[in-house]
Structure 1
Amino acid sequence: MTLYRQLLATMLMLFGVLFAVTYWVQFTSTRNYLAQQQETTVINTATSLGLALTPYLENGDKVSAESVLKAVFDGGYYQQVRLDMLASKEVIELDNSHGIQGVPAWFMGLELFPDVSNESILTSGWLQLGKLKVVGHSGQAYYELWQGMTNLASWFIIGFLVTTLLLMRALNYLLKPLAQIRDQAQEIELHHFGHVIPEPRTLELKQVVQAINTLSGKLADQFKEQAQEAEHLRERVYLDAVSGLGNRAYFVGQVNAWIAEGGEGGILLVAVDMLDDIYREEGFAARDNMVKSIAQSLNDELSGWDGAAIARISATEYALLCPTSELASLQELAERINGRIADLVVNPMGEADALSVIGIAGRDSQDDLSSLLTKADNALGRARNERRGAVVMEGGHAQGMMGRLAWRDLVEDAIARQLWRFKAQPACRFDDGTRLHAELFAAIHRDGHDYFAGQFLPAIEQFKLGSEFDQAVLTATVPLLLKESELVLAINITPGAICSDEFLLWLGSFLGSHPDLKNRLLLELPEGTILKHQARVEALVAVLQEHGFQWGVDHYGRHFQSLGYLEQLAPSYVKVDHGYTSQVMEPGADTAFLAAVCRAAHNAGILTIATRVENEQQVELLSRLHIDGYQGFVHPAFPI
């Protein structure tokens, strides 16, 4: 029972006892008063009646004596008046057999008032004239007692109810700081910090509130320091200090993750050899300014590419990872990049000469990191041998068999005809191996061929089919969850769906119609979309929280932005980007950043899950880095 209810119950019980004792004292006092009043009335009536009857008894006037008796009997409330005339041996007796109105029979049966009677001998000198007996009727006393006590009980009940309401309001007001302390303690337990409780006037509670506010502030500062530490470590390990882009280690990790996911597209190597000339002629400051300008241009060109990565891999070279289903777009992108870099140098003659060359390596199905980089280097060497502004491509012959319109038609056909094949890969805890959930992988099966997400997702984003695609997948998973009662699925949501008002409205209706799935259906949002469209993500998270569904972050730690969104959005879990987890197996790998970024999430009360874990040795290494769970080929995906 809550403290509020305990205090309320205790005070109401004390008030109830007080009211009961007061009522009993008042009841006893009123009853004794009415009994005494009845006795006094009977005695007085007998005395006055005796004096009035004596003259008539001396004369033997029975009629007048009876008239006097009736007058007194009718004017009062008596049960019996009896006169024995001793001289004539006659008896005059008057009885009242009527009950009292307005008093319950059970109350009359309590026998609260004893019978009151008075007998007296009427004399004249030494002569006895008669015997008078007056018996009081207790009905009037019962009536007065009943009316008085019922009125008093009514007032007591009204007073008790009013007291209860006032007491509830008073306790709510007095205990409000305590409720705020409780809520703040729960927020701290959930690792939500920074909210300040207003200080109450009560001295004891004021001191507790001050302590809680201080603790919450320190924990919030500690979380921010940990997030900043993770960012500093990431900058040291994966960031190029001059350009602000990733370095070679970062790019290698991102390419490995992209290859592991079966993505299509290619990588671009951009060489700007004139940077050496600028350094020799104008110094390192001018060269660094040009490096930053080129980095900004590259960021601008790839801002709309989902899953892209940019890095500076040497003093004069940049590397770009560009997922796409159509290699022709890489040629177009390369031409635009050459033009943007050429525009960075002001030519007094108004002519724009090319300053860079680009080598493109399109990914073939069997390419690994080494072969892909080799093709890119070869293409870049050929471009250098041609001219400035040259763009040379190698590889990618297995791609392009389907154009972008064909991919769009495939996705639309799959949505219309439900051409899905699903697999689910378990995510398990490090400590006891229990399954946290299973991540859903969707493929399209048509005409005997399977098309995987890495192949058709670029078309989904290009043609803005994310909302329709995610609606179809979520709808298709409902029967799967109903069929397998122990299955918990995590489903990735595309950036296009997150930015769609139509999808947001549909999702609210969908979740509201399936409340039984709130602990079995999880949504995963990519970190890049969270950072680019935080307002849209906040709206989607609000819908999830309204219906009690949980969500997580995919590709956690991939982007070079603040990790402060963890505290603000409070996801249930994060999946660490494979570009980092895959490097723990490399000799001399620096795991400081990975440990820091996982600790930042872990200390915020968020589960951390490593992805693309391939063997038990990798499981053992990752378990030491503040990571709660793992997911990957060590537990293969199973069809559902």
Structure 2
Amino acid sequence: MLGLLALLMLKRKLRSISQIAAQYSNIVNNQFSGPLPIPLDKEGRDITKMINHLIAQLEANFKRQATEAIKLKEQAYRDNVSSLGNRHYFINQLNSWLSDSHQGGLIILKSTLIDDIYREAGFEIGDKFVHSLAEELNANIIHSDVTLARLSYDEFAVLAPNITAEKLKVIAESMHTVHSELQQRHHIDYPDSVSIGMLVVHQPSTASQLLAQLDNVLAKAALTPAEPLAIADDSQQPISFGKQQWKSLLLEAIDNNLIQYSYQPVADDNNNILHYEVFSEIRKNNQQYGASQFLGAIEDVGAGVQFDRHVIAHHINMLNANPSFGPIAINVTSNSVSDPAFIRWLTELMERNQRLSSRIYFEIPETSFVRTPDSCSLLCSAIRFYKFGMGVDNYGRYLKSLDYLREFRPDYVKIDFSYTHQLNDQVKINLLSSISRTAHSLNITTIATR
């Protein structure tokens, strides 16, 4: 009888030990199945209570670590203002998609309105606008398996696997509509405040290469504000540079004198030359890169000032060396217009070279007169003080903001290309006539581009 009792007690202890061993195996694999049942014997009871206490601590610690990992992932991949994924998240999704497939499309939306609102209304209103734009873009993109992210301060991107070009256009048009309606609700009248680029992807590539191609398509869209959506096929796109690559190429071109120039005559109705417009391009390794390819990118990374300084200094030297050449018109980037250091530099340069005042026109983009009027006023005052010439580029983009002409009185305005091509639209013809009359009423010369 005693032997049977001892056997039963031994079996209970062995069962407790086997339960503890099984629980230990679960703990090693981070599997927590709850506390062990308390055995009847004192030794087993004490050991099991200690084991259960240890299990509870380990489980709590594991949950805390998991929560921290989720928070760290959110910090790494989430944009706090828009509540969307950030650039790191988008590139991670892009790489994951490229590892499995390469059929689909990309969209990038750039909104200059974001910077306008931050600058004019402050951070709180700016953050609310970004959040509202993100929410409405997300709600209006109707397509399965789409990734929407905030790619940068003023850019949103979409990754749409296995999509046709037609459906990609539908999404892009929907994004444009969302932005336009939100802009109207904020009562801000900046007609060229959004550009959208689309890239249809058919062949294997890398995330950096696709984003570079997408940047180039976006730059093309920005050149046609009347139709600010552009689409391209990756198989038709040349090898592209990203913004930082363009900046590096530009700095290399400046250091090694790789920037070449051509001069297009601008004539009046009687074929009298008014001036020669300066066109720049970078030439390297038998490749030519026109300014239209890189200007948008270098302005986005703030390198327009370095480019302008180089071009202006080169032509100051050239005009001093060749008294018979000119007059010339040199474009100034919006980066430079809003840069106080550039304005001081140019002011000192004009002071030292006043004898060239009748041979140089500085051509300022209309967007600077409208968006940064204070900086523009400083620059124009310096140009006028030293009696150099001044023109307006892309005239007519801001139809309801032509009052700046009365204040600044430029020598000429260069009408935006969107008004001067395909003149078979009566609405376009009427608009062209209207903005031309506005300039003529102030005795300002109008120049048509083509």
Query: What amino acid is aligned across from residue 329 of structure 2 in structure 1?
Result: A
What's the CA shift string for 1:473-497, capped at 9, x where partnerless?
A: 0011123323151411000000101
Residue identity in the other structure for 1:607: T
Separation in structure 2 between the aligned mates of residue 603 and residue 466 of structure 1, nearest angstrom: 33
The unaligned stretches of length 5 or more in structure 2 are 1-164, 200-207
In terms of Rg, which structure is larger?
A: 1
Distance 2:193 2:316 in 1: 35
Match of 1:526 in 2: 365
Q: Which residue of 1 aligns with 2:435?
A: 597
- Give the 3-state SS of the residue equivalent to 1:536 in structure 2: helix
Identical columns (%) = 28
Aligned to 2:240: 401
Per-residue deviation, residues 160-190 of structure 1 (Å, max 9, x unmatched): xxxxxxxxxxxxxxxxxxxxxxxxxxxxxxx
Distance (Å, rounded) in 1 between the aligned partners of 2:378 and 2:371: 14
Matches of 1:307 and 1:461 in 2, distance apart? 20
| 1:563 aligned partner | 402
Task: Give per-residue Cα distances to partners, 1:389-448, cap 9 Å, x unaligned.
Answer: xxxx74464245333332111111112222221001111011x21000011001111222
Q: Quick check: 1:419 aligned with 2:319?
A: no
RMSD: 4.1
* Higher relative contact order (CA closer than 8 Å, sequence separation 6+): 1
8 Å contact 2:197–2:218 — kept in the other structure? no
Q: Residue in 2 aligned with 1:347? A: none
Deviations 1:545-599 (A, max 9, x none): 1111110000100224321110011111000111101132x27675222111101
In structure 2, the residue matched to 1:537 is 376
Alignment-derived partner of residue 295 in structure 1 = 180
Deviation at 1:330, TM superposition (A): 8.5
After superposition, the Cα gap between the structure-2 partners of 1:549 and 1:272, relative to the gap in structure 1 and judged at 3 Å, is closer
Match of 1:440 among 269, 273, 278: 278
Report the CA distance between 1:502 and its aligned residue: 1.0
| CA 1:496–1:326: 2 relative to 1, 3 Å | farther
In structure 2, C-alpha distance between the alignment counterparts of 1:449 and 1:421, rounded to whole Å:
12
Once the two structures are superposed, the pairs formed by residues 329-408 of structure 1 within 5 Å of their partners are 376=231, 394-395=233-234, 397-408=236-247
- Return the TM-score normalized by structure 1: 0.37
Kept after mapping to 1: 8 A contact 2:246/2:297 = yes
- 1:104-253 superposed matches below 5 A: none
Find the counterpart in structure 1 of residue 418 from structure 2. 579
Structure 1 letter corresponding to 2:301: F
Q: Judging changes above 3 Å, is the alpha-carbon distance between structure 1 residues 427 and 473 closer, same or farther for their aligned structure 2 residues? A: same
Question: Within 1, Cα distance between the matches of 2:309 and 2:432?
Answer: 34
2:289 to 420, 438, 451: 451
Q: TM-score, normalised by structure 2?
A: 0.52
Change (3 A) 1:361 1:472: closer
Number of residue-to-residue matches in the alignment: 268
Q: Residue 400 of structure 2 aligns to a residue in which SS?
A: coil
Q: CA deviation at 1:271?
A: 4.0
Question: How far does the alpha carbon of each residue in 1:285-304 deviate from its partner, in whole angstroms, 9 at most, with x for none?
Answer: xxxxx99864154799xx9x
Over residues 449-468 of structure 1, what are the superposed CA-to-partner deviations in whole Å (9 max), with x where a residue is unaligned? 22110111122112211111
- In the other structure, the counterpart of 1:269 is 169
Q: Secondary structure at the match of 1:519?
A: helix
Deviations 1:508-547 (A, max 9, x none): 1110111111000100011112111111100100111111
* Aligned equivalents of 1:475, 1:569: Cα separation in 2: 25
Secondary structure of the corresponding residue to residue 524 of structure 1:
strand
Alpha-carbon separation, structure 1, partners of 2:301 and 2:177:
32
Q: Distance in 2 between matches of 1:593 and 1:548?
A: 32
Say if 2:388 is the partner of 1:549.
Answer: yes
CA contact (8 A) 1:363 1:396 kept: no
- Matched with 2:356 is 517
Instruction: Indicate how the Cα distance of structure 1 residues 270 and 536 shifts in structure 2: closer, same or farther if over 3 A, else same.
Output: farther
1:309 positional shift: 6.3
Unaligned runs of 5+ in 1: 1-265, 276-289, 311-318, 333-359, 377-392, 613-640
Identify if the C-alpha distance between structure 1 residues 412 and 589 changes in structure 2 by more than 3 Å, giving closer, same or farther. Answer: same
**d(CA) in 2 for partners of 1:322, 1:541:** 37
What's the secondary structure of 1:506's corresponding residue? helix
